[in-house]
Amino acid sequence: MLVIGDSLSAAYGMALEQGWVNLLQQRISEKGYPHQVVNASISGDTTGGGARRLPRLMAEHTPSIVIIELGGNDGLRAFPLKTMRNNLETMADLVTESDAALLILGAEAPPNLGSRYTSRFHDTFTEVATTYGARHLQFVIDRIFLDPDLMQPDNTHPNIIAQPLLLDHVWSEIEPMLAE
Alpha-helical runs (H) found in the chain? 20-30, 47-61, 72-76, 81-97, 115-131, 142-145, 163-179
- With contact defined as beta carbons under 8 Å apart, do 14 and 159 qualify? yes
CA distances from 69 to 32, 34, 44, 95 (A): 25, 22, 12, 14
For 13, phi then psi, to 5°, come to 80, 10
- With contact defined as beta carbons under 8 Å apart, do 179 and 35 qualify? no
Annotation marks residue 157 as catalytic = yes
Catalytic residue among 122, 136, 157, 169: 157
Catalytic residue among 6, 7, 41, 136: 7
Tell me the CB-side half-sphere exposure of residue 142, using CA atoms within 13 A.
0
CA distance 75 to 107: 8
Annotation marks residue 149 as catalytic = no
Catalytic residue among 29, 119, 123, 154: 154
Q: Strand 65-69 vs strand 38-39: parallel, antiparallel, or unpaired? A: unpaired
Annotation marks residue 7 as catalytic = yes
Residues noted as catalytic: 7, 154, 157
